[in-house]
Amino acid sequence: MNNAPHQLDLSAWPRHDLLEGPTPIQPLPRLSAHLGGGVNLFVKRDDLNGLGGGGNKLRKLEFLIGEALAANADTIITVGARQSNHARLTAAAAARVGLQCELVLTRAVPRFDADYLENGNIVLDALFGARVHDLSGTADALDYANARADELRAQGRKVYVCPLGGSSAVGCLGYAACAAEILAQAHALGTGFARVVVPNGSGGMHAGLVAGFAALGVDPRLVHAYAVYSKADHAHGITLDKANATARLVGGVPGIAAEAVVIDESQLGEGYGMPTDAMREAVRLMASQEGLLLDPVYSGKAFAGVIAAVRSGRHAPGENVLFVMSGGVPGLFAYRSAF
């Protein structure tokens, strides 16, 4: 891993800076010792970005906002669930660059308590000035978004529609760039990682890392994902398609093989946004041992997978495992009753 090149040329793609620079990689010494087994856990702090409360979606939005501005858009519309982190950060990024923002949010998670419906990300969406369209859990949000875009275009507006999670091939470039960032940081630290662990929701973070590592000559099976949105078979197909689409944009990669996309569904539980006991333990352990906050939908479930892998001996003593902390902390306040 340390001998791989650390740069990708993504200059052909419009990009608007939303980050403050590379996010740090930090060790988790107390939690590593607590779990035992001699495995060295590290976190890539993608939760630390300052804009909009931080989170991994800003990496995708650098390219998505860049594309929208290059097209002279004045409005951005995106879709998600009621507590979507991507929607929150799209609203924040739109506020930063002066775009109008509309969010098409579905009640896809069967939660009807006041905390879930009115707290967390939904509070911040309003503060950032976004207009929220509240749809039922069975509605097709993207169809609604495209129809709304047509309505606004008929009024003379220039509208950019952003997909679920920002996980278009262009959005995934953000995590192809992150693959290069991880390699450069590992080189600077004089170390390497046996595994890079991420949650897999809309698949963009996973796909971008796979495409980025492949383009940099690193075996993309380095990345292991835990499904948090759909079953592994479904998530695998979507992620592989996005990884190949991203690889075509990056260039230099003939294709991503099916076995390069590794997804584990053991932490999914009853489905997207539904709490599990393992997630609760993971959130509590990270908080009590390291003072860091995982979110209950994405990073909590994925880190539960890391804990299970360490406890079951799937990592050899001395191995370094990097977990990408994707942010989403406002979601904790929407899940008060789960804790």
pLDDT mean for each 10 residues of the chain (339 residues):
74 96 97 97 95 97 98 98 97 98 96 95 98 96 98 98 95 98 96 97 97 96 98 97 97 94 98 98 98 98 98 96 97 96
Contact partners, residue 227, CB within 8 Å, separation at least 6: 200, 235, 263, 264, 265, 267, 268
Considering its fold, how many domains does the chain have in total?
2
Query: 156 and 201 in one domain?
Result: no
Query: 108 and 257 in one domain?
Result: no
Query: 195 and 152 in one domain?
Result: no
Backbone angles phi, psi at 79, to 5 degrees: -130, 160
pLDDT digits (tens, 9 = 90+) for 247-268: 999 998 989 999 999 999 999 9
Q: Which amino acid is at 100?
A: Q
Measure Cα distances from 193 to 100, 180, 222, 321 in Å.
41, 14, 8, 6
DSSP 8-state assignment for residue 218: -
Which is catalytic among the residues 84, 168, 230, 326? 84
Query: 312 and 234 in one domain?
Result: yes
Q: Quick check: is 326 catalytic?
A: no
User: What pLDDT does 3 receive?
Assistant: 57
Q: Which of 132, 166, 200 is the last residue of a domain?
A: 166
- Output the six-digit token pair for 174: 């953000």
Q: Which of 147, 166, 185 is the last residue of a domain?
A: 166
Q: Which of 117, 149, 166 is the last residue of a domain?
A: 166
SS3 content of the chain, % helix, strand, coil (to 5): 45, 15, 35
pLDDT digits (tens, 9 = 90+) for 69-111: 999 999 999 999 999 999 999 999 999 999 999 999 999 999 9
Query: 88 and 135 in one domain?
Result: yes
- Output the six-digit token pair for 183: 């390699």
Query: 326 and 259 in one domain?
Result: yes
Query: 82 and 29 in one domain?
Result: no
Domain range for 117: 58-166
Query: 88 and 50 in one domain?
Result: no
- Asked if the structure places residue 263 within a domain, the reply is yes
- Asked if the structure places residue 265 within a domain, the reply is yes
Measure Cα distances from 84 to 105, 189, 226, 242 in Å.
8, 34, 18, 20
Query: 292 and 320 in one domain?
Result: yes
Query: 177 and 39 in one domain?
Result: yes
DSSP secondary structure, 225-236, as one string: EEESSS-HHHHH
**For residues 261, 269, 123 and 49, what is the CA-based torsion angle, rounded to 10 degrees?**
-40
Query: 188 and 330 in one domain?
Result: yes
Separation CA 336–CA 174 (nearest Å): 31
- Asked if the structure places residue 12 within a domain, the reply is no
Contact partners, residue 33, CB within 8 Å, separation at least 6: none
